[in-house]
Structures are given as structure tokens and as C-alpha cells.
Amino acid sequence: MCDRERGCSEVPVPKVTTWQLSAGSAVIGLALAAGLIAASGPWDSGQRKAERDWAAARDRTGGADHGSAAHSAGPAPAPSAPGVLAALGGSSAVPTGTGLGKTLGHLMDDPALGRTAGGVVIDAATGRTLYGSEADRPLTPASTVKLATMAAGLSALGPDHRIATTVTATPDGKRLTLRGGGDPTLDRDGLRALADATVKVERDRGVSSVRIAYDTSLYSGPVLHPIGPNDNIAPVSALMTDEGRLGGGSGGSDSEASAEEGDHGPAPRTGDPAGDTARTFASMLADRSVHSTGAPAPGKSPADAKPVARTYSAPLSALVERALTNSDNDIAEAVARQTALAAHEPASFAGAGRAVRAQLKKLGLPLDGARFADGSGLNRQDKVSPTLLATLLTRAGDPAHPELRPILTGLPIAGFTGTLDGRYTDPSGAGGLIHAKTGTLTGVNTLAGTVVDARGRLLAFAFMASGTVSPTAAQSALDRLGTAVASCGCAG
């Protein structure tokens, strides 16, 4: 599923591929040149999940070429956006607050948006707020909180960061430890690479019988998300395979999915992702004539143990794109904990929340009233303002922050990809022009992203609604707001 890079000489290095379709997100003006192109999917456990994204299902990483053939060079960051902002924001007229207010005001009053709604529109080239309604009020963001999680992770770790899974062995080779580094996308191919590399070392030592332990100590705090066992997220463990999925994923946040999409969307989850992974690893060793003397058990590497095999996740840039396009909760929680580790905080829900907030503060983002109870947005205790989300998106397009560019290239594209592939499909709508992260919990509907308006300006927006009654009606109301921003020159 994920591309792997050589950690030890025994682990092969497939090349990271590029998802061409999302290039339109990095060079958003192409969507404008292409013109307008022309529902919602099933509910699952109170939240829609992504995702008929054929590109993500094939593990293509998104708009930028984040891979590199050379391990020493590492994956390149996503491209910076000076050309995008210059082309779309340099000469065209800037919309006025009066014009946008006239266009959006009555749409924000739609009863479908529930008891409380807030929205904001910011000019991406200048950072100037063009429209605001309850823009600074903290509201429950649902999955749009992933924008904050990913911004913090990219800022703290860099887009080329990769998460390692390691096998260590004692000097005599008779005790092996499978040590989780927090990669939720580790798949059977990665485990096979670890098994092959480990068996080579063991054969060289003449060892055919081992004891196997598995180490999840990198993470701390509760393993279960506060929502409890749920098809939308596995227990949060430092060691797991295929996000703890027991079966193929199905349709996600805003669309139905094809049968081939087994790596994203809701699916039954194991209650013991680390133990299952270790047992699968032991079985792979046995298939290669290195047998375990007993069942794998939890434990840390002995002090004298040394690494004998290692495999890596795809670069963080690719994980961010996948998480945003598919609204992937497991990757989001992993990125939050990687951010905590970088900040020397406990890799727990609480530690990750502190680390994310601290990193966003370094980016100069408006955090009044913000709270980060988790990294995925499943927790209703999360609170952010529309201004925070839109300012974050503007910062991601700032040439001074190229490390944040995967946030823009990972946004679902209206009518095309991820959680927006089934929305904005009306030929007269804004398909292809709106790139936005969705968020949906029962009674909560949000949309935050970027759009090219009728005059060619690149705008960042965030619309948030709480206390909604009909998810379909609320999503339609949000889509009308996005379409209005796209179609309105609003210079008068």
C-alpha cells in the first residue's frame, strides 16, 4: 500500500509514485482553465468517511512529486506556490467585503445550517479578510480539524519525515523484537520485507528458533479513542498493519466506494492491532523456516539488542495528502502523535493536543478558544474558529512555508476526488474549482478550503455549522456557499 524506503540493506526500495490528478491542486489555475465540470453517501457511526478516490486507492501520493529515487536525498517537499499566487492574485480585482456580504449573507441564514453557523473568506494573496460572520467563534470542526493536525505535523517534522518500523535482535539472534514507530499504513508487503531481512540475518547466525516480542511503548495514554470501538478508527497503537482493518473499506464521508477500496473508509477493526501484526510477522518468519518458540508477547528490546531490519512509511507529505483526501482518522492520529514526539510531549491524546497547539502558535495562527482533543476530529471537544481554518489554508499557500504545501495538494477536489467526489456535480456548479476538506458528525457540518473566484482570485474559506438536523440539507447549504464564492467576482 505505502511506498517503502531502504532502512537496512535487506529492505527493498520501491519508487514513490505521483498522483497526477491532484496537480491541479498545486497549480490551481489549471482548474480554472479547464472550466466547470460536471448526494451524499451512507452514514457510518455518526460520521461520513471518504472516498471514491481511485488515485489514493492505488497509493499515488498527490499533486507534488514527493518521492525520490535516491534514499540519501530523501523525498522532496511539495512545490512552493509563488507562481500560483502571482497568476491568480496579482492583477485581478480583489472582491470587496460589501460584495461578498451581499452574496453570502442570506446563504449563511439558511436554517439548514442549524443553530450556530460561522464563516469567513480570506484573500490568499494578501491575507486580507474579505467576509466574516461569527468568524472568530470556536465551533466543533469535525474532520476539518485534520487541517490543523497536518499543519502542525508538517511544520514540526518536515514533509520528508518517514515513520520507521524496526526489528531488533540480541547478539545471539534468539530474541527478536518488532518495534512500532507509529506507522498505521504498514502493510503486509512491509512486514514481508522485514521478515526477509530478519531471516537473512538469522540464517547467517545459524538461528532457526526465536522468541518474539513486540514493542508499542512509543505511545502512551489511552489506546481507544473516546468514541470507543468504531469502524472509523482502530485502537491507536504504535504498531499496526493496514490501519487495523479486518475487511475492505467502504464508502466514506461523502460518497460510496467501490469494492477495491480496502485501504480507506469505514471497516471492522481489530481490538489488538499490535498483537495481530506481531503474529502475522511470526507466521511470515515460520514460512521462511525461522520458528517462534511461543506466541509473540508484549515487551521491549533488550539493552544489548541491535536493529537487523527496518522499513519506512511513505513520506509525511504523502501521508498528509492521503489523510486529507480520504479523511483518514488513523493517519491523522498518527501525525498528531509524531508531532508530540517531536515536541518531547507524551505521544497520547493529551500530549498530541498540546504539541499541535504549540506548533500552530509558532506559525502565528489565531488560536483564541481553540482546543485539540484529538487529531482526527472525531472528538466533539475539538474547537476551532472559521478564521483559524482559513488562515491556516492561506499560510499553506505562503511562499515562506513550502513545507505546508501538501495541505493544499491533499484537499479533495469538488466533483473529482475524495470526500468531494460526489458533491458539486451539477454542470453549472463549481466542480473542479473548489478544493476543500469536509467535516461531518451528527449535527455538525463543515467545509474549509480554497477556491478560484470569477475574477481569478485564489480565496481561502471556512464555513462551519452546528446543531444541524439534516446532513444532506446542511451539506447542500455549505456547497451553495462554496459555489457562491467561486462564482462571485463581488467587486461591487
Which residues face 384 on adjacent strands? 139
The single residue of 25, 80, 146, 250 carrying the catalytic annotation is 146
183: left (phi over 0), alpha (psi -120 to 50) or beta: beta
Cα distance between residue 2 and residue 9, in whole Å: 19
Q: Where are the beta strands (DSSP E) in 134-185?
A: 164-169, 175-179
HEC profile of 350-391: HHHHHHHHHHHHHCCCCCCCCECCCCCCCCCCCEECHHHHHH
Residue 124 DSSP class: T
Cell 528458533 belongs to residue: 209
Q: Is residue 300 among the annotated active site residues? A: no
The answer for residues whose C-beta is within 8 angstroms of residue 37's C-beta and 6 or more apart is 415, 416, 427, 431, 432
Q: Is residue 80 among the annotated active site residues? A: no
Q: Is residue 174 among the annotated active site residues? A: no
Q: Is 169 helix (H, G, I), strand (E, B) or coil?
A: strand
Closest by CA to 146, choosing from 297, 315, 336, 10, is 336
Please answer whether residues 121 and 107 qualify as being in contact, where contact means their C-beta atoms are separated by less than 8 angstroms. no
Residue 103 DSSP class: H
Q: Locate 401 and state its grid cell.
A: 512555508
The single residue of 22, 143, 292, 376 carrying the catalytic annotation is 143
The answer for residues whose C-beta is within 8 angstroms of residue 13's C-beta and 6 or more apart is 4, 5, 6, 71
127: left (phi over 0), alpha (psi -120 to 50) or beta: left
What letter represents residue 174's amino acid?
A: K
How large is the angle between the packed helices 329-342 and 349-362, nearest 10 degrees? 70
Q: Give the count of beta carbons closer than 10 Å to the beta carbon of residue 262.
A: 17
What letter represents residue 444's amino acid?
A: V
Q: Is 182 helix (H, G, I), strand (E, B) or coil?
A: coil
Please answer whether residues 467 and 172 qualify as being in contact, where contact means their C-beta atoms are separated by less than 8 angstroms. no
How large is the angle between the packed helices 471-487 and 97-108, nearest 10 degrees? 160
Which residues face 445 on adjacent strands? 440, 465
Active site residues: 143, 146, 327
